[in-house]
Structure 1
Amino acid sequence: MRKKSHVSLARFIVRNTDNEELKKHRYSFYIGSILPDIKPSFVYRKHEIDGTFPDLQERMKKMLERIPGKEKYTRRDICRMGEISHYLADYFTFPHNKEYPGSLKDHCTYEEELKQKLRTYLNTHEAKENLRPKKFFTSTESLFEFINRSHREYLDGKHGVKHDIESIVEVNHQALEGFFDLLKRKEHKKRYIDTTGKNLHHGAA
């Protein structure tokens, strides 16, 4: 997607979340949402699910290990959330998939149309109303499986800008809210253990 598209999506996510830390550090989230497109690696590393998702999974696992125990997220944490949003959005943009048959020129034309229609859609009541209830993920593995399964279903669907927009918005919403929920639950678990000396799953140590 174009950088403006990523920012439009990031603003929509912030408007429709209950996470106060994300709202507080929203500008860091916006910056993170375009950061992968201005890094040197953008020149030689395609933002396709086969090429970058394994690395993204490792980064998310490390975040989950590092962040819990803090009452608040830093700007850097939220910026990294924006990067996650960026990659997820690109995975569900047809020209970023090997199945796309067009040329580089076609790719640019497609993303320009996507930019215009995504921005229009995100400013409608329909966009918010179409968001499904948040999913509950028991682990990062279940979250990653949701993303992979959603991508397989996306590739099996009817390709086009409308299909991309629906997939981009829904998967971003579910994945980011789910990841924040995993962080929150692990943080609460750590506080419980620190306070009581007991493990939530195994009772007394």
Structure 2
Amino acid sequence: MTTYFFDSTYQDTTYGEEAMHLKEFESCQFINCDFTACNFIGVTFIDCTFTNCNFNSTKLNHTALRTVQFNNCKMQDINFAMCDKLIFEIAFSRCNLDFSKFYALKLKETLFKNCSLIAVDFMATDLSEVVFDHCDLYRAEFDKANASKADFRTSYNYTIDPEKTKIKKATFALEGLKGLLYKHNIIVE
């Protein structure tokens, strides 16, 4: 049986392994919470905000993220591909998402603002109209992704193969062109 929580604030809380089983949170805020030992199973978050929370290596199995905002969170090595895909809507600001996986998810129009996305797996992901605003995309993987109309203008350290990634009408800054031409050994100055 699912337990329902509405319009609540949780602050400075450390959650244990089974603390997030079969729960639904709507319009809730989580501030300075630690979920590193937590194993999410059958959890739903609707219109929730997480600020200064630690999710490093957390398991998000069958977790629904519906209009969820993450601000200044540590989220390294998270497999978002295991989340419920129905109404999957998320946004990230000042988060560390290094080594996380978004494999084959629909992230259309998602905002990544001032995030570290080092070695993130975006393979086969729908990144259409995604905004990467001042993000570090070093070694992020984009093979078979659809990045049509995505905005990379202020981001850096990306390498994207236009032969393996759809980038029609995506926007890039002139300084970022070397990330599109790397495999051709072309020098851009």
Normalization by structure 1: what TM-score? 0.19
Structure number with the higher helix fraction is 1
Structure number with the higher strand fraction is 2
